[in-house]
Amino acid sequence: MSETPAFPPRPAFEIAPGNAVLRTDAAGRPVLGIKVQRRGRNYVQDYVIDLLPPADPEIRLDFVDPEIEMTDCGAPLRFETGPDADPALGWSPPVPGDLVRANDGLYLAVREYAPPHRFVSFVNLETGNLRRLRAGAMTARFADWQVSGLGGDHPLPLEELMAKSR
């Protein structure tokens, strides 16, 4: 069996969108998140969504300086979902923290702050790209889910992934 590669620290702008990242919070604790990117006509903005420990009070986009170093885990996270809510039965719109399945993938609903507005955007969990998602494109909504580990060529269970951050 091949050994899992080491996770190198690198500047945020070098980390592929959608990859899991490890960083430390202000108290020095490890935080597992997802690198997200917004591409505009003349700009690229880097964000991180902190997932573990759970974000307080809600899952949101945090802008990161493109030069700040984070630990690149080299692959997207894997998620386990609970039972879904069928949109045909009439369910409420997704709130930050919900996973949503659409025709082109699995998305995480996140809170986005753009003063004076607060709205929900969606992050494709494979590509890390940020976008709006029409209700008609959603095929399922998952309020209960958990991170199960790292995907990619060298999958890791969540416990081993978090142990690499110590």
Q: Cα(156)–Cα(60) distance, rounded to whole angstroms?
A: 25
| Mean pLDDT along residues 94-116 | 85
Q: What is the pLDDT of residues 13-33, one digit of tens each?
A: 999 999 999 988 878 888 899
Closest CA to 12 of 67, 94, 50: 67
| Mean pLDDT along residues 45-49 | 91
Whole-model pTM: value is 0.83
Q: Which residues contact 114 (CB under 8 A, 6 or more apart)?
A: none
- What percent of the chain stands above pLDDT 70? 86
In terms of CATH architecture, what is 78-146? Roll (2.30)
Confidence of residue 1 (pLDDT cuts 50, 70, 90): very low
Confidence of residue 90 (pLDDT cuts 50, 70, 90): low
Domain boundaries, the chain: 9-77+152-163, 78-146
